[in-house]
């Protein structure tokens, strides 16, 4: 999932849910006070729904096996500075990837 949040801020919440069951991961992210946590929760929910619909896996038996955030394309802007110069502003974003599987795996 593409987010408008930098990968460095998303990774703080990804580390909290790695290796947990989907229900436990969503409970942890529900009480985390950050827009990053909301993005991670939406991605985990989506991965669980895809596993249920596409592979007929039981949603209560799913576990977050792999989860990571990589950098995505940046919006590049410029800020005017003194003496006719400009400084770059890099508005970073990230891609969140979640892999869920059965608890036995």
Closest CA relative to residue 45, chosen from 31, 33, 34, 29: 29
CATH of the domain at 90: 3.90.470.10
Please give the model's pTM, rounded to 2 decimal places. Answer: 0.87
Give the separation between CA 71 and CA 51, rounded to whole angstroms: 25
Residues spanned by the domain of 32? 2-102
- Going from the C-alpha of 4 to that of each of 22, 24, 41, 96, the distances in angstroms are 23, 25, 15, 11
Q: Which residues contact 104 (CB under 8 A, 6 or more apart)?
A: none
17-44 per-position pLDDT tens digit: 999 999 999 999 999 989 999 999 999 9
Q: Give the chain's domain count.
A: 1
The pLDDT value recorded for residue 103 is 78
105 residues of the chain, pLDDT tens digit each? 788 899 999 999 999 999 999 999 999 999 998 999 999 999 999 999 999 999 999 988 999 999 999 999 999 999 999 999 999 999 999 999 999 999 765
Whether the CB-CB separation of 57 and 51 falls below 8 Å is answered with yes
């Amino acid at each position: 999932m593409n987010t408008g949040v930098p990968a460095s801020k998303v990774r703080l919440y990804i580390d909290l849910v790695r290796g947990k069951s989907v229900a436990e991961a969503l409970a942890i992210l529900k009480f985390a006070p950050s827009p990053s946590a909301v993005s991670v929760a939406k991605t985990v929910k989506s991965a669980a729904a895809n596993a249920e619909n596409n592979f007929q896996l039981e949603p209560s038996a799913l576990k977050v096996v792999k989860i990571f955030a990589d950098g995505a394309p940046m919006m590049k802007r410029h800020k005017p500075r003194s003496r006719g110069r400009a400084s770059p502003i890099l508005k970073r974003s990230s891609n969140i990837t979640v892999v869920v599987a059965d608890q036995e795996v």
